[in-house]
Structure 1
Amino acid sequence: MSFLSRYKFSLSSQELVLMLITMVWGGTFLAVHHAMTVSGPFFFVGLRFATAALLLALVARKSLRGLTLAECRAGAAIGVAISGGYGLQTWGMQTIESSQSAFITALYVPLVPLLQWLFLRRMPGVMAWVGIVLAFSGLMLLAGPKSGSLSFSAGETATLLSTLAIAGEIILISASAGKVDVKRVTVVQLAAASLFSFMLMVPNGEAVPASSPYLWYSALGLGAASALIQVTMNWAQRSVSPTRATVIYAGEPVWAGIVGRVAGERLPGVALLGGALIVAGVLISELKLKKRAKRPSPAERQS
């Protein structure tokens, strides 16, 4: 029996949708990077998620009538994590390139199974761990797309810190999945993320920027993308484990790197190798070990 014949490759519809969403997610980095030329980071994040919350509230306005206290609590907690993750990430993009930001952000990949193990008592499977190790190795190569290594500037440090909040967001979504209405809790979390981001403008010393077409177009477009991404994550993670979801999300920097390259950012060979390792990690994490059928004992064969 060959090595591959011992494994079963399966891809659910939820996992396929997460992969497609990851492509959209990766493409947003360049748009945010350009938006930092016309806005401060926390105002832009607040405007982005306010737009997303408004769009989704219009679509799910009938569902909002049944909003519960538990959904408000879950949505608020997830929203704070989203604000911290996206806010620090966007703050970092004032000084680092979009592809570099995406690569560093994806370092949350090894954090999720550890936090999942610590807080949810869910032990990741063997193939998930193998996939995570490969993805983490690839991310180490991709973290510095120009130099091939991390040099901790202020922007890179802020982006590294954002990975903790992003990992927390995934854990919180998984913890509440199946217990709340997806549409209602997503509206709450987007609104909470917007409100908390606007509050962070004060300690960051931000002022409301001058109105410009690019600011509003990018906020509307990214707001729609954020609403789609958050609804999809909440829906899909009702049946996809945090570890499997996280390794799928590891493809995000690959798509961000592709978009960045089209826009003029160039990746060295070591970064391309890192991207290949991430793809390998995604594929291997989807493999399932087949259990061998129990062989009958001699007594059972004779009976």
Structure 2
Amino acid sequence: MFHPFDRLRTLRRSSTANLMLLAAAFIWGATFTFVKAALGEIGPFTFLTARFLLAFAVLIVPFLTRLRRGGPSLWRSGGVLGTVLFAAYAFQTIGLRTTMASRAGFLTGLFVVLVPLLSALALRRPPAPSAWVAAFLAVLGVALLSLPIDLSLAAGDGLMLLCALMVAIHILLVDRQARRHDPLALGTVQIGAVALFSGLAASLTEPLPVHISPTVWGAILFTGLPATALALLLQVVAQQWTAPHQAALLLTLEPVFAALIAFLFLGERLSGQGLAGCGLILIAMLVAEAPPFFNARHLSTSRPSGE
């Protein structure tokens, strides 16, 4: 029998998870200026190596006991998550060489559509109809916010679509694996895996930097600590208590936060089209968040009880 206190507990956990994902989206939205400045002086894979290696070094000491308890299964799962996450960063970085950053933001944001599609196809757990409506509104919002009026395609667009696919797969894998393992240990292992693969890619494609400026060090510190060590762990922990399509929609707020931060600190102003996009994304958020008040029983019973 479903008890009212179970309903309240489920809603409380869901709300906490949503706030954690919003925090992650805000942090990631704030990284744009830092990363852009750093990539003007250092190779993308070298930067990713430093970013994820710093995050891994910070996390491995406090979570060493958790890592030891996890056993080989934890390292395999974290390695898989790290491989997919590295692929997403690699496709996005290479694609940015031949496509506009605003267009890249829209194409990467297509993971919002891919998550429910892949969930229904592979996990046999189709989301509620409201999730499809919210995903549609979110994609329209990201398009208005990110795309210029000229919709011509660039050569790197295909790589951005692959990035979106990897992000969607990562969200679904985290949704499954975060309930099987200690989420903090799992997040630490995946960060280490990204650092490893980035280092291998950098050693094969980029020379070692002779000098690292304070600008690059600042970008490495910001992206390595709050934007990687903290934000990725927030995502892994939060996805224990929220559905994958809901996580995808919350993370779609990243470009909205990026635009707001640019307005506050750089004086950039959104056009009418951009403001309309922000509005649509916020409406999508409301549509996605309404069902839990009516479907708390569904949210509490949709998770496999044995995991």
Q: Shorter-normalised TM-score: what interval?
A: 0.7 to 0.9
Q: TM-score, normalised by structure 1?
A: 0.84
Match of 1:219 in 2: 220
Encode CA deviations 1:206-230: one digit per residue, 9 max, x unaligned. Answer: 2222322222221122111211111
Within the candidate set 246, 250, 255, 2:252 is matched to: 250
User: Residues of 2 paired with 1:150 and 1:39: CA distance?
Assistant: 31
Q: Give structure 1 stretches of 5+ with no counterpart.
A: 1-9, 292-303
Contact 2:102 2:146 in 1 (8 A): no
User: Residues of 2 paired with 1:47 and 1:150: CA distance?
Assistant: 35
Identity %: 34
User: Residues of 1 paired with 2:61 and 2:105: CA distance?
Assistant: 31
Residues 101 and 79 (structure 1), Cα distance of their counterparts in 2 relative to 1, 3 Å cut: same
Match of 2:301 in 1: none
SS for the counterpart of 1:67 is helix
Encode CA deviations 1:87-136: one digit per residue, 9 max, x unaligned. Answer: 22233445666555434322211011111112211101021111111111
Q: TM-score, normalised by structure 2?
A: 0.83
Match of 2:165 in 1: 164
Match of 2:3 in 1: none
Encode CA deviations 1:246-289: one digit per residue, 9 max, x unaligned. Answer: 11111111111223344355543212211211111011111127
Residues 80 and 44 (structure 1), Cα distance of their counterparts in 2 relative to 1, 3 Å cut: same
User: Residues of 1 paired with 2:56 and 2:44: CA distance?
Assistant: 18
User: Residues of 2 paired with 1:106 and 1:202: CA distance?
Assistant: 30
User: Residues of 2 paired with 1:276 and 1:29: CA distance?
Assistant: 21
Name the count of aligned residue pairs: 279
User: Residues of 1 paired with 2:266 and 2:101: CA distance?
Assistant: 10
Encode CA deviations 1:181-217: one digit per residue, 9 max, x unaligned. Answer: 11211111001011112222356x3222232222222
Encode CA deviations 1:158-200: one digit per residue, 9 max, x unaligned. Answer: 3332111111111110111210011211111001011112222
User: Residues of 1 paired with 2:269 and 2:150: CA distance?
Assistant: 15
Residues 282 and 123 (structure 1), Cα distance of their counterparts in 2 relative to 1, 3 Å cut: same
Match of 1:298 in 2: none
- Larger C-alpha radius of gyration, 1 or 2? 1
Q: Give structure 2 stretches of 5+ with no counterpart.
A: 1-10, 296-307
Contact 1:140 1:149 in 2 (8 A): no
Any runs of at least 4 consecutive aligned residues in structure 1 with deviations exceeding 6 A, and if so which?
none
SS for the counterpart of 2:109 is helix
Match of 2:207 in 1: 207
Residues 156 and 267 (structure 1), Cα distance of their counterparts in 2 relative to 1, 3 Å cut: farther
